């Protein structure tokens, strides 16, 4: 194709001269006849902001032997670098650099450019080789025409700087765990969780630490407001419900002494004290629930919070010394002259009322809820911790979930046919004796009750043998002697 074009142009000149034409017909070199060709295009890359880039390289080629044109050696040959935001060289306003190229009959200009990485975005860089070509006219003269060879644009991407991930500074402190005699306890799990009231930063983490043989548990936590509490007691002990409020900042670790005034003191080692789990008397089957003077039991009636605690006091293997005054001011709403005061204060000091009251008040005359009763009962045995919630209406966020799940795992409590537990409903007297009977492994002898119905020291006018809780109520309200074999409990005598 190129040789055919050249023959055509030559013939045209001859004819024109023969005809004596005076019109000058400039001969222009077509694109495929350009003396210079691009033989290496610059290659782009991706960079982070202000990262050192790799130079862009462009290589051109001129071969006189190919006879592609005649370079005007008197005109300058220049390589220019440009950039644009579009993949085009249409706008050449952004000049980067111009370099002269030495003329030679056989040359291969090479040029490099360091692309800028001081702003985020995408740029396209390209190199242009500018030169002049002399072409003959019909008068036998030579005309100079400006030509250029252009590389393909090199795409250079500059990204925002890589985020610098720095580990937040952590501050260490220790917590001590002992029994009520001051002996160190190992195996207690202490939690440090974000304070839901003061802490708004969701990035503040949750921490757990376990006490070692010296009784100490160590924490290393980042800045924030925290609640420090015992999550799980060592085997054989009840966990305390004490909570401490911790503030950690660049200045150190502080203990929130008074939330009302926001008074904070430099942290000093907190000590959690555990009491051994008291045992319940499962051998002596004495009466632990009575009816009313009018001869009724009122199975659907609720029990008060004070009544529930006093009932469990009667079931302890180690009896309370009735001549000792245990009254204290732990609960501000338990007056010293109340009928239940000594028992409630004794049970509090025994460590079985943790989480039974969650607002600092005992509320003695309030009906005890099913969740509260399950919590109280759970303190008389090792907690059975599980990640599976037993009831559909007791989510993992419920304050009593671990106590309810533990009581359910032991078979002490059951829910309703729809899979719910109704934790905030008041527990009834018949539900109480049913649960406690399971805890004590006590079950009434239905044959004995039937055979001796007329001579029983106690029957209830509002209760018949057809009631679903009849056996549990009679077991709880009649003291009795018994023998036990593989078939169950057999009564031999009944006492009032």
Give the pLDDT confidence score for residue 66 in this predicted structure. 52
Write down the pLDDT at residue 105.
Answer: 67
The pLDDT of residue 3 is: 34
What's the confidence (pLDDT) of residue 180? 93
Contacts of 2 (CB under 8 A, 6+ apart): 32, 33
Residue written as tokens 């600092």? 360
What pLDDT does 32 receive? Answer: 41
What per-residue confidence (pLDDT) applies to 350?
A: 95
Q: Sign of the CA dihedral 469, 471, 475, 478?
A: positive
Give the total residue count for the chain. 496
What angle in degrees, to the nearest 10, is found between the helix axes of 341-350 and 305-314?
A: 70
Full-model pTM = 0.64
**Residue 12 φ/ψ, nearest 5 degrees:** -60, -40
Same topology, domains 2-159 and 171-276? Answer is yes
Query: Tens of pLDDT along 410-460?
Result: 999 999 999 999 999 999 999 999 999 999 999 999 999 999 999 999 999
Q: What residues form DSSP beta bridges with 495? A: 479
pLDDT recorded at residue 262: 74
CA torsion sign for 100, 102, 105, 109 is negative
**Alpha carbon distance 132, 33 (integer Å):** 13
Q: Which CATH class, in words, describes the domain spanning 171-276?
A: mainly beta
Give the single-character DSSP code of 99: E
Contact 43, 96 (CB under 8 A): no
Q: Where are the domains of the chain?
A: 2-159, 171-276, 305-495
d(CA 118, CA 85) in angstroms, rounded, equals: 15
Cα 138 from Cα 142, distance rounded (Å): 9
Residue 445, pLDDT score: 97
What is the Cα–Cα distance from 185 to 203, expressed in whole angstroms? 32
Weakly modelled stretches of the chain, pLDDT under 70: 1-34, 64-69, 105, 140, 163-166, 259-260
Q: What is the pLDDT of residue 144?
A: 79
pLDDT of residue 165: 65
| pLDDT score of 450 | 96
Residues 2-159: name the CATH superfamily.
Immunoglobulins (2.60.40.10)
Q: Counting Cβ atoms within 10 Å, is residue 207 exposed (0-12), middle (13-18) or buried (19+)?
A: middle
Which pLDDT score is estimated for 161? 80
């Amino acid at each position: 194709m190129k040789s055919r074009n050249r023959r055509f142009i030559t013939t045209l000149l001859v004819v024109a001269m023969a005809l004596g034409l005076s019109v000058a017909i400039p001969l222009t070199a077509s694109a495929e006849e350009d003396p210079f060709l691009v033989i290496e295009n610059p290659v782009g890359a991706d960079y982070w902001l202000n990262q050192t880039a790799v130079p862009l390289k462009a290589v051109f080629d001129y071969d006189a032997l190919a006879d592609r044109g005649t370079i005007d050696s008197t005109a300058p040959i220049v390589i220019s670098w440009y950039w644009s935001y579009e993949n085009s060289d249409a706008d050449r306003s952004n000049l980067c650099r111009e370099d002269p190229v030495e003329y030679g009959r056989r040359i291969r200009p090479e040029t490099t450019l360091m692309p800028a990485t001081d702003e985020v975005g995408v740029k396209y860089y390209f190199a242009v080789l500018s030169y002049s070509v002399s072409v003959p006219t019909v008068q036998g003269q030579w005309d100079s025409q400006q030509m250029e060879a252009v590389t393909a644009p090199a795409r250079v991407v500059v990204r925002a700087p890589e985020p610098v991930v720095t580990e937040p500074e952590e501050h260490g402190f220790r917590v001590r765990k002992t029994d009520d005699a001051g002996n160190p306890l190992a195996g207690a799990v202490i939690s440090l969780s974000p304070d839901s009231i003061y802490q708004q930063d969701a990035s503040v983490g949750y921490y757990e630490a376990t006490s070692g043989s010296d009784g100490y548990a160590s924490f290393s936590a980042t800045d924030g407001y925290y609640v420090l509490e015992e999550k799980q007691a060592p085997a054989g002990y009840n966990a305390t419900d004490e909570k401490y409020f911790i503030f950690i900042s660049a200045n150190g670790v502080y203990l929130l002494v008074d939330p009302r005034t926001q008074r904070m003191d430099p942290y000093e080692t907190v000590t959690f004290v555990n009491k051994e789990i008291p045992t319940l008397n499962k051998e002596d089957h004495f009466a632990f629930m009575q009816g009313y003077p009018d001869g009724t039991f009122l199975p659907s009636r609720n029990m008060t919070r004070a009544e529930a605690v006093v009932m469990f006091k009667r079931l302890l293997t180690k009896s309370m010394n009735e001549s000792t005054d245990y009254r204290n001011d732990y609960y501000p709403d338990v007056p010293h002259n109340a009928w239940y005061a000594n028992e409630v204060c004794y049970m509090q000091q025994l460590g079985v009322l943790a989480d039974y009251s969650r607002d600092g008040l005992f509320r003695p005359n309030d009906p005890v809820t099913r969740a509260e009763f399950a919590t109280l009962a759970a303190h008389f045995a090792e907690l059975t911790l599980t990640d599976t919630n037993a009831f559909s209406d007791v989510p993992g966020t419920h304050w009593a979930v671990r106590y309810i799940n533990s009581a359910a795992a032991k078979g002490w409590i059951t829910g309703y046919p729809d899979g719910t537990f109704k934790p905030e409903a008041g527990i009834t007297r018949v539900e109480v004796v049913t649960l406690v009977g399971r805890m004590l492994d006590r079950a009434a002898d239905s044959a004995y009750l039937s055979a001796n119905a007329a001579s029983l020291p106690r029957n209830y006018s509002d209760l018949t043998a057809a009631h679903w809780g009849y056996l549990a109520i009679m077991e709880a309200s009649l003291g009795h002697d018994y023998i036990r074999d593989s078939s169950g409990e057999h009564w031999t005598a009944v006492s009032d």
